[in-house]
Amino acid sequence: AEEVGGGDKEVVREYFNNSGFQRWKKIYGETDDVNRVQLDIRLGHSKTVENTMLMLTEEGSLKGVTVCDAGCGTGSLAIPLAKQGAIVSASDISAAMVAEARKKVKRLVAEEELLADNGGEAPVMPKFEVKDLESLDGKYDTVVCLDVLIHYPQSKADGMIAHLASLAEKRLILSFAPKTFYYDLLKRVGELFPGPSKATRAYLHAEADVERALQKVGWKIRKRGLITTQFYFARLVEAVPA
């Protein structure tokens, strides 16, 4: 099974509903039952979220801005976006991840934490849905898709990028594992998905390929970032209509 949309997608869904869910829930969480590698990935990923928030807020307030968070995981980005007043539609192929995201929001509401950054006014909670990227529709000011492209081979990534761009009115933010680190990463990718049962493949993407896919549908890259820790690498790009 090489292709997302065929066998690969089912493997990815199955992984993120089971062993992958257990693993990533911990990495994206706050508890200290993580090993050194997981802690490093947690740090890298949190920097990606931080940089994304910076890219977004640099252009002005997020109040009332509609955002589609495609492949939202446990809500690591959706929740801070909502805190800033964005109207967030978040979705993920994994029902387990979505359930965890909803749980997190409930907890924050109970703790009244969501009031904090919004001048005491309760923000609109993100809407979480179980849905794969391919079936997303509608129009949003901003579409964000963080660390999901790793599940797509470049042949499928082009179509996915085109689809996400078609949903976005003003900007599209993507993060992906850059191909530059390919050889270095091969070893480390093995650590992300260890063991014989976790057969999800990891695909790296050359920045030039992502840029070409964006250009093909009339978009250009406006900002770029690179996040690296010991075990985490992400290229972050913000694209706008050319």
Residues 225 and 30: their CA atoms lie apart, in Å, by 25
Residue nearest to ligand SAM according to CB distances in the complex:
73
From 143-151, 177-185, 211-219, 232-240, give the range in contact with ligand SAM by CB under 6 A: 143-151
Residue 112's beta-bridge partner residues? none
Nearer to ligand SAM by Cβ, of 146 and 213: the residue is 146
**CA nearest neighbour of 209 among 156, 138, 145:** 156
Q: What are the φ/ψ torsions at residue 94 (nearest 5 degrees)? A: -95, 120
Residue 238's beta-bridge partner residues? 173, 223
Indicate the SS3 state at residue 65.
Answer: coil
Q: Which of 82, 87, 88, 148 lies at the binding interface for ligand SAM (CB under 6 A)? A: 148
Nearer to ligand SAM by Cβ, of 68 and 114: the residue is 68
Interacting positions 41-60 with ligand SAM (CB under 6 A):
none
Query: Minimum distance from CB of 23 to ligand SAM (Å)?
Result: 10
- 64-103 mask for ligand SAM (x: CB under 6 A)? -------xxx--xx--------------xxx--x------
Residues 92 and 211: their CA atoms lie apart, in Å, by 24
- 117-136 mask for ligand SAM (x: CB under 6 A)? ---------------xx---
Residues 102 and 108: their CA atoms lie apart, in Å, by 10
108: amino acid identity, one letter: L
Own/partner long-range contacts of 111-116 (Cβ < 8 Å, ≥24 apart)? 114/79, 114/82, 114/83, 116/83
Query: Minimum distance from CB of 215 to ligand SAM (Å)?
Result: 23
Nearer to ligand SAM by Cβ, of 30 and 121: the residue is 30
Termini Cα distance of the chain? 36
Nearer to ligand SAM by Cβ, of 16 and 203: the residue is 16
Report the sign of the C-alpha dihedral through residues 156, 158, 161, 163, in that order: negative
Nearer to ligand SAM by Cβ, of 112 and 129: the residue is 129
201: amino acid identity, one letter: R
Nearer to ligand SAM by Cβ, of 60 and 138: the residue is 138
Cα atoms in the 13 Å half-sphere on the side-chain side of 50: 8
# chain residues binding ligand SAM, by CB under 6 A: 20
Query: Minimum distance from CB of 72 to ligand SAM (Å)?
Result: 6
Nearer to ligand SAM by Cβ, of 28 and 128: the residue is 28
Interacting residues toward ligand SAM by CB under 6 A:
9, 12, 16, 24, 28, 71-73, 76-77, 92-94, 97, 132-133, 146-148, 151
